[in-house]
Structure 1
């Protein structure tokens, strides 16, 4: 947490840590309702790896008669409302990182959740954060279930207190490391049923597979392959295939996209960067013959839509989000240079310039990416 106004944060912290006690007391005065809250406020890729379990929960014997609500992140609002709305009763979207210094907004949302009278609150995210632990408690639900979790997203002094909010905390078996498997294990345990799904899936509206989509950015600049390497890769693609090549992405890819267009012959590449909604980008990936990207949500979308992909991969969350396990159909081809410091949770031990990617990314050569791309290249 990057806190600038400590006084506002103290008020928020009081709401998150102290108000649940009052809400739990008041909850004894209200009747029970068949209503369940799913809490999932992290990034787009995380939602892609989670969203199939909304339908599974709604269709489960245990919760088939429950109204299911979602507390989510506004960056993927359009995905939820386009592909998952039929399984949800209500959605609440909030940018959690902005709430630590906005106690009034925290209280307003907390009161809304409390008044919904949830019987069950589920937080399937393994790397929990302080604010969502607080919201889970403020529901005053009879059953609040989450992972024991780690300290990557929450300080120990806060986690030691918020652990007490949960009525059930699931330990994660050492054998369950891949993120999709973590979600599956959580819902298998909560629903008390075997789930056979082994990868994300999205039913899209198109059916063609044509063109090569390239997403040249990453959620954080230092996790992305250099734009100069993407430029050379695109030049090689244009020499070896007649398939259209196009750029995709959001506001974070605009600068890199402009650089690529300015250094390529006019008309050779089309850019959809910052010109599509997220559902439209999903459809673009679904209709592509090949996707090339950093380790971003686009890679998970490609798996979910059965689109071949090449993933330029660093070591921060190695094997947690990629590479995919061997039993996954149409898994991405991951290109990386493994270093002893892998699995660092992006707490890089190397000092790099502000305009340089992390060494585990910059060490991935153009030649190695091309060698992995060539066998997948559509004619």
Structure 2
């Protein structure tokens, strides 16, 4: 059953020779250190960061003996966000698809000779996160029970059987910020109250023209469905400008489509930074904003993590898993808005939009007036 399990994807079988090579590769005799596998996005990293601070005590090691294996997407932030820890960033997509890259990374992990390998990601992929834990061949391999579907149950069954300990952090849709501390409680055997998500960050002035208070508009997202319609961002921008606030539009090159419409606002209070900010500079801009308005994507969670007043626009695909934050860990200056529908928890398999380029109705349905009222309340609290 272990050698020839049923229900595995073709790609899993393609990578079996790598498992064999890694298993045979010599590793240091003395096992030491902790590997923390974090194959997730920027927002997930923000929510995990507070829990990581307790790992040295939980495992009885120094920070320098803990290696965080993360993603290239947040590598530029590592020095500021993870002081004292060792961070190794990889291309998680290449690891899941490219044979030679996968072999290179798996061997790198194997050769470290970790004593412990840990992964507490609930929403994860077996061929990335679980494979890396298994490749470590650490003496202790500790993972949480993942989100399992009919399609993934065979692979998860195989990998979970290879773990030395599996910790149940709660049913779907328990929030990730709570799961991390449930995992810690199980590790330590002591009560670990969940903490507000936060990341350490420098206090550098933002790379912006001098001027008055500004509101950041983060209108992009890797998933088009999670984007609040750009026309509504423009309407919100007009409210801000009329109230005497500057408006800073942020985004990567993929958001270049918005430049003509931003220019058409024709207002001295508009600042277009699309494609011009490096990730650390973006965080500086978020940190010093009077308010950040964001789709449910990495920069929105970064804004919350550095303590900025933030209005985050949430859809219902897996409502409660990542947003909104539960009241027990919601920063006082974070507001989550959503448009409730009876089809919540569709896992983003939405049949109610005309094309894949359209916003999900549960996102588009959030009114401009509601967002403006939230912004006004954060910028000018009564």
Select 1:177's aligned residue among 174, 188, 199.
174
How far apart, CA to CA, are the structure 2 residues paired with 1:10 and 1:176? 31
Query: What's the C-alpha RMSD, in Å, of the aligned pairs?
Result: 2.7
Select 1:144's aligned residue among 123, 141, 145.
141
Report how far residue 202 of structure 1 moved.
2.3
Select 2:75's aligned residue among 74, 77, 83.
77
Select 2:234's aligned residue among 231, 237, 257.
231
How far apart, CA to CA, are the structure 1 residues paired with 2:307 and 2:63? 32
Q: Paired residue for 2:98?
A: 102
Moved more, 275-284 or 337-346: 275-284
Q: Paired residue for 1:269?
A: 270
Report how far residue 21 of structure 1 moved.
5.5
Select 2:246's aligned residue among 244, 250, 257.
244
Indicate if the aligned counterparts of 1:20 and 1:140 stay in contact, CA closer than 8 A: no
Select 1:216's aligned residue among 198, 215, 219.
219
How far apart, CA to CA, are the structure 1 residues paired with 2:172 and 2:110? 36
Indicate if the aligned counterparts of 1:54 and 1:87 stay in contact, CA closer than 8 A: no
Q: Paired residue for 2:357?
A: 355
How far apart, CA to CA, are the structure 1 residues paired with 2:254 and 2:63? 41
Select 1:112's aligned residue among 100, 108, 112.
108
Stretches of structure 1 that go unaligned for 5 or more consecutive residues are: 1-5
How far apart, CA to CA, are the structure 1 residues paired with 2:302 and 2:352? 31
- TM-score, length-scaled by structure 2: 0.86
How far apart, CA to CA, are the structure 2 residues paired with 1:61 and 1:161? 26
How far apart, CA to CA, are the structure 2 residues paired with 1:8 and 1:150? 20
Indicate if the aligned counterparts of 2:31 and 2:115 stay in contact, CA closer than 8 A: yes
How far apart, CA to CA, are the structure 2 residues paired with 1:253 and 1:213? 15
Would you say 1:165 and 2:162 are equivalent positions? yes
Indicate if the aligned counterparts of 2:113 and 2:138 stay in contact, CA closer than 8 A: yes
- Aligned ranges for residues 1-379 of structure 1 at < 5 Å? 10-16=13-19, 18=20, 22=24, 30-60=28-58, 62-64=60-62, 67-88=65-86, 91-131=87-127, 132-151=129-148, 155-174=152-171, 177-206=174-203, 210-240=213-243, 242-256=244-258, 258-327=259-328, 328-378=330-380
Q: Paired residues, what number?
A: 365
Report how far residue 266 of structure 1 moved.
4.7
Report how far residue 13 of structure 1 moved.
4.3
Secondary structure in structure 2 of the residue aligned to 1:70: strand
Stretches of structure 2 that go unaligned for 5 or more consecutive residues are: 1-8, 206-211
- TM-score, length-scaled by structure 1: 0.87
How far apart, CA to CA, are the structure 2 residues paired with 1:175 and 1:15? 33
Secondary structure in structure 2 of the residue aligned to 1:86: coil
Indicate if the aligned counterparts of 2:64 and 2:84 stay in contact, CA closer than 8 A: no
